[in-house]
Structure 1
């Protein structure tokens, strides 16, 4: 039997349509994923975590920790053992004065009713002072003068560094949602009404301006939408 080009094209299109419409099933229950008719449980392909701005991936591995020499004093406090370190991300360079000033600027711009938030984030420039050295120019100019804007920030304590990392996590995730069209840029966020990753995950997103592209909610049969979840793999983990 001879088949013309139209018939062959129609058969190919039918095969492609049947493959495209086939839903992935759970290997434990047999229920369809991403199908509102089967409850709407979602499973998405994950290509891997994207690298955040300014970060580099450090691949993990295993190494031998401890002394390989004879323990002459028999203290046994440095026993040779194998240690595995998982892969992790770290900044390509130190956090600069410019990076940290951007953080303080944001705090002062957003927390207008709580000026102490921005004040408490300022680094301690007195760390430059020393009895046997004349470092007053650094005390006065190092943090703010443009000549030092790409130098590492100093005088930041552990609590301030932790708060900076949390702020940076939120700003990067906010940028990702804006890039994906899920949120619109909103420079007028004020006080507590600003984007926070943890608050967004639990549905506390009042005051945020939604974009044109929202996630499809398969729990709703007729075109429902939802917020981004951690399971979607879109936003990044905490810094």
Structure 2
């Protein structure tokens, strides 16, 4: 019984060694820089074949942005529910990688956007008046029945003391238009 087991082990080792030797021999001959490892065809030759550009340059990060790596997570309950309230079925969700600002959009950044709109679409022209007015943030977000914030309502966006504070009172459409404007300006540079 021991002799048969030794013969089987030795024969397996010989077979595995020959596979390893053959695969190494093939990959060594095909590992030349100008020959494809997959097909054996010449790469980037005048006779034809696969054309490969190895001059890859990574995407340049815009000013003030950080890269957020995407990934997969499970949304929903994944542990036992003692109340048997199975109203949230777990599902796998994927989030793509994206860039995000290091800090909030400040008043001075948003005022730069408003200044650009005022220069390109003068509000004095009746045809363009709604573009600039539509981009102004709602400064009435500071009003509250329980507090007196009238100075913030009047000064927060405009006063230089609040220049590096986050902009407030911007709705979704205004935020998207600001992001599109900023993307265009960065791409122009």
TM-score range, shorter chain: 0.5 to 0.7
> What CA RMSD, in Å, does the superposition of the two structures yield over aligned residues?
2.7
Shift of 1:25: 6.1
Query: Does the 8 Å CA contact 1:108/1:115 hold for their aligned counterparts?
Result: no
* Map 1:141-180 → 2, pairs under 5 A: 141-175=155-189
Over residues 56-89 of structure 1, what are the superposed CA-to-partner deviations in whole Å (9 max), with x where a residue is unaligned? Answer: 0011233333323322444433233443322211
Q: How many residues align?
A: 143
* Alignment match, 2:75: 65
Query: Is there any run of 5+ residues in structure 2 with no aligned partner, and where?
Result: 1-33, 35-42
* Map 1:82-161 → 2, pairs under 5 A: 82-112=92-122, 113=125, 114-161=128-175
Shift of 1:31: 8.2
Q: Name the larger-Rg structure.
A: 2
Query: Does the 8 Å CA contact 1:60/1:88 hold for their aligned counterparts?
Result: yes
- Tell me the SS of whatever aligns to 1:166: helix
Query: Does the 8 Å CA contact 1:104/1:118 hold for their aligned counterparts?
Result: yes
Q: Which stretches of structure 1, 4 residues or more, deviate above 6 A after TM superposition?
A: none
- Tell me the SS of whatever aligns to 2:67: strand
Query: Is there any run of 5+ residues in structure 1 with no aligned partner, and where?
Result: 1-18, 34-42, 176-239
TM-score of the two chains, using structure 1 as the length reference: 0.53
TM-score of the two chains, using structure 2 as the length reference: 0.66
Identify, as 1 or 2, the structure richer in helix. 2
Which structure's relative contact order is higher, taking Cα pairs within 8 Å and 6+ residues apart? 1
1:53 aligns with 2:63: yes
